[in-house]
Copies of this chain bind each other. A is one copy, B any other.
Amino acid sequence: MDTASLEQLLERYKSGYSLEQPLYTGKEVFDAEWERIFRKRWLYAGNTAQIKKPGDYFLYHLRNDSVIVIRGNDGAVHAHYNTCTHRGSAICLQDSGHVAKFICPYHQWVFDKDGVLLNARMMPDDFCKERYNLHAVHIKLVEGLIFISLANEAPDFSQIEKSLSPYLKPYEIDKAKVACIKNYKLKANWKLVAENFRECYHCGGAHPEYCKAVIGANLREDVNEFTVEKQRDWNKKGLATGLIEIADGTTTYAVRYPLRAGVESYSVDGKKISIPMGLHKDHDAGVVGLVNYPNFWMDAVSDYVWTMRVTPVDAFTTDVEFCWLVDEAAEEGKDYTVERLTEFWEITGTQDAVLCENNFKGILSNAYSSGPYAPVEDQVVNFVDWCVKELKTG
């Protein structure tokens, strides 16, 4: 049995080769990742379309923590830990909902949407109310996306904002309509889910529907010429096209790539799913692919946005949330159906879930050893390198 320490494991990591088993399965490693990555970095929580009106809230569960994300009175968005400052009770009991004020269900302490303790009944005269506001969580918005940080001091957000903003702007997410949210529990280490979404070496064999929609996804077609041509079109329309790669000190990846000629949307039949979203005028914006390490993935087409939020539960379990957004004016039943809207990513996501779970099963074996990534898996290497670096320096 391998009894190498985390530090030894990190030291002997060899870029270009998959991680050693304990880095996927060890409890000590997982705890370190939680402290040095998840409780340190900006995490995608959700979007402002989920909480349109003041008092609308949703919860984001992160291991033992539950974070309330709520629209405040002034339209701003606040994030608080969902734990009463009296005796610790959870305050919001539904995963999403609406409150005028927070009233703790245990002893009815009352807090405002911004976390200020308004009333604690029957407390003595010398009770210092100001010391018992809700515990705040750092929060940042970029074009309707909500990021939070559990760190004591939140890291810089400007790089993320600058990278994502031009790609997000045309979708007008803050005004958009949340058409569907689904959660999946995967029996796989969270890094395998991330790795899976950073390469298309598996696409040809595993994703027939995806390869039918996206030219080059099978890695057998030359797409350069076609892409250059599409980029010229997109630039004319003012759509962002500059590739942003994750490098030293950054966490954001952004790209726009074309759908196959004649394909209008991420759909099984290649036809459009809904009306063009936000500022888009047609179904020809290609695919916007966004990533922010460690937990945010988004693929958007002309008529809908699909986000993926990856949340580790323990070393063996990962919660994945999919959210589908359409234009604010899109009417269900007329402009789109939830069934067609979700079909493409339910199919593709389920294929990936099975791959990730089987990948994890094999890694659990005593016989598993680090294997070489293929050259086309360079973005996986980028992600794994990043994780190792965060663990080393965190």
Q: A residues engaging B (CB < 8 A)? A: 1, 18, 31, 35, 39, 64-66, 81-91, 93, 105-108, 120, 122-124, 127, 132, 135, 150, 195, 201-202, 204-206, 219, 355, 358-359, 361-369, 371-376
Contact A106 to B358, CB < 8 A, known contacts A83-B363, A201-B122: yes
Q: Which of B83, B361, B369, B372 contacts A123 (CB 8 A)?
A: B372
Of A89, A91, A150, which is in contact with the most chain B CB atoms at under 10 Å from its CB?
A89
- In the complex, A31 Cα to B2 Cα: how many Å? 13
> Oligomeric state, in number of copies?
3
Contact A366 B64 (CB under 8 A): yes
Contact A368 to B83, CB < 8 A, known contacts A66-B361, A358-B90: yes
Contact A82 to B362, CB < 8 A, known contacts A88-B18, A122-B219: yes
Contact A81 B365 (CB under 8 A): yes
- In the complex, A326 Cα to B84 Cα: how many Å? 40
Contact A367 B122 (CB under 8 A): no
Closest CB of chain B to A76's CB: distance in Å? 21
Contact A88 to B135, CB < 8 A, known contacts A205-B105, A205-B107: no
Top 9 A-B residue pairs of the complex, sorted by shortest distance between their CB atoms: A81-B367, A83-B362, A64-B364, A135-B367, A90-B362, A88-B363, A83-B365, A90-B361, A88-B362
Contact B362 A132 (CB under 8 A): no
A/B interface sample: 29 pairs, CB < 8 A: A18-B86, A64-B364, A64-B365, A64-B366, A65-B364, A65-B366, A65-B367, A66-B365, A81-B365, A81-B368, A83-B365, A88-B363, A88-B365, A89-B355, A89-B362, A90-B359, A90-B362, A91-B362, A93-B358, A105-B205, A105-B206, A107-B202, A108-B204, A120-B374, A122-B201, A122-B376, A127-B372, A132-B371, A150-B366
